[in-house]
Amino acid sequence: MNGLKHGLSSEFVPEWCAVTALVLLDVLWAARIPVTFTITRDDFLVLGLGLGACWGLRAMRLRKGGLMAEYFSLTLTATTAICVLSYLCLASSGPLVDARLMAMDRALGFDWLAGYQFLSAHPGLKSVLGFAYGSLVYQGLYFCVLLALMDRKQRMRDMFWLFGLCALFACLGTLLFPALGPSKFFNIETHNGFVPVMEHILSGRDLTFALSGMTGVVSFPSFHTAMALAYVWAFRGTGPAGWAMAGVNLVMLLAVPFFGGHYLMDMIAGAATMLLSLAMVKYAPGLWAMRGTGRRQTVAAANA
């Protein structure tokens, strides 16, 4: 009985509460606009396996394994809820701001089209950048495994909140500053499937999407930029693995404009988003604790 009770316990109670609140926001928002998400039992298969592994490993007193499985399940649920929120934000957004973003890029001297043409002429370099750009999911899985084995639960919690805040800022940017990206601006067909999905959402017609088939619809700020910098921070102090991840993410930053269909301004905003989110993760708990201490001291002085 004690093993079962231990297996059902959680190491991330505040984080699960935040994800639950996010899911409720998605449900309430979706009920107010003509967007529908189809859900099947298969959509819960991986999550069910993750939670089952978590409970089983905890029941067997394999704490690090349980920590790994629970964090995987937590981030999977959060990622799905955030993807849904991004669709809802884009469906509720206003006029596109591509012309303004392109004008700012040109004012900064950034020539997206020239960079795209250069990559097209160098397939080897393009393959390297494409690999780095597509590594984000695998970095998340590796982070989950490595940090759980190192028993760095606080770092895992910090990364969860950093990821969540960056994603919420990205969704807010999608709502306020929707854009289709440079490839659409220059009428260039790419292998990225997100532009047609974004156009479909913005059309306002037949807005029914499969939960398992969602893709990224965030342009400004660049979420890939925010996460590339976030993982450089998150993997710090892990030895050679940390240096390797830093190298991959620096290469990813070079890939973001062309594989993610982003303006340079998207990337600048993404970097600012990450720094703001990191400041909130690192300093907000301390400020809240100081506020609570000050309040207790005030009450104690009043009762003295």
Token pair recorded at residue 30: 């979706």
- State residue 15 phi and psi, 5-degree precision: -70, -40
Residue 300, pLDDT above cutoff 50: no
In order of 89, 162, 220, 223, the CA distances from 180 in angstroms are: 14, 25, 9, 14
Residue-wise pLDDT tens digits, 89-140: 999 999 999 999 999 999 999 999 999 999 999 999 999 999 999 999 999 9
Its pTM stands at 0.88
Per DSSP, 213 falls in state: G
Which residue type does 253 have? L
pLDDT band (50, 70, 90) for residue 277:
very high
Q: What is the DSSP string of 106-140?
A: HHTT--HHHHHHHHHT-HHHHHHHHHHHTTHHHHH
6 neighbors 59 (Cβ within 8 angstroms) = yes
Residue 293 has pLDDT above 60, yes or no: no
The answer to whether the CB of 134 falls within 8 A of the CB of 215 is no
Output helix, strand, coil percentages for the chain, rounded to the nearest 5: 75, 0, 25
